[in-house]
């Protein structure tokens, strides 16, 4: 198990930028696929971005592609989500998620594939 703690949410104006972070516990950070999901009020949890160890690739949901960037600092065991050109529809609670990378294929964008979740950090984009 890995514990995840998000930080960095808040209020930002439309068109602005915001970074959120996720600090992970444990010694095997680089064996976990790391992802960001978000959940807007009254809606389901949507995939935002992920880092997959098996393919050494990053993936983005449609709403994030071209505006958001996922990155990590292995020494700090932290994954980041840089969000640019934010829109009111980006308003949501952003959750960090992790799953053990076992070398097999597992859908990267499916929330139920992840067994470890942070508490979430709220991002509000004002119009």
pLDDT at 68: 98
pLDDT for residue 27 is more than 80: no
- The predicted model gives 84-107 an average pLDDT of 95
Residue 56's region, left for phi above 0, alpha for psi from -120 to 50, else beta, is left
pLDDT for residue 28 is more than 90: no
- The predicted model gives 48-72 an average pLDDT of 96
* DSSP secondary structure code for residue 103 in this structure: S
CA-angle at 65, arms to 63 and 68, nearest 5°: 95
For 7, 67, 79, 86, 123, the CA distances from 108, given in Å and listed in that order, are 23, 19, 16, 24, 23
Chain centroid to Cα 16, Å, comes to 18
pLDDT digits (tens, 9 = 90+) for 64-91: 999 999 999 999 999 999 999 999 999 9
């Amino acid at each position: 198990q890995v514990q995840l703690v998000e930080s960095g949410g808040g209020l930002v104006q439309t068109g602005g930028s915001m970074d959120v972070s996720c600090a992970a516990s444990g010694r095997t950070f680089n064996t976990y696929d790391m992802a960001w999901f978000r959940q807007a009020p009254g809606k389901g949890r949507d995939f935002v971005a992920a880092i997959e160890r098996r393919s050494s690739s990053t993936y983005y949901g449609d709403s994030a592609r071209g505006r958001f960037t996922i990155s990590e600092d292995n020494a700090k065991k932290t994954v980041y989500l840089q969000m640019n050109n934010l829109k009111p529809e980006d308003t949501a609670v952003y959750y960090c998620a992790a799953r053990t990378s076992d070398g097999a294929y597992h859908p990267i964008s499916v929330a139920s594939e992840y067994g470890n979740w942070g508490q979430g950090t709220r991002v509000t984009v004002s119009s």
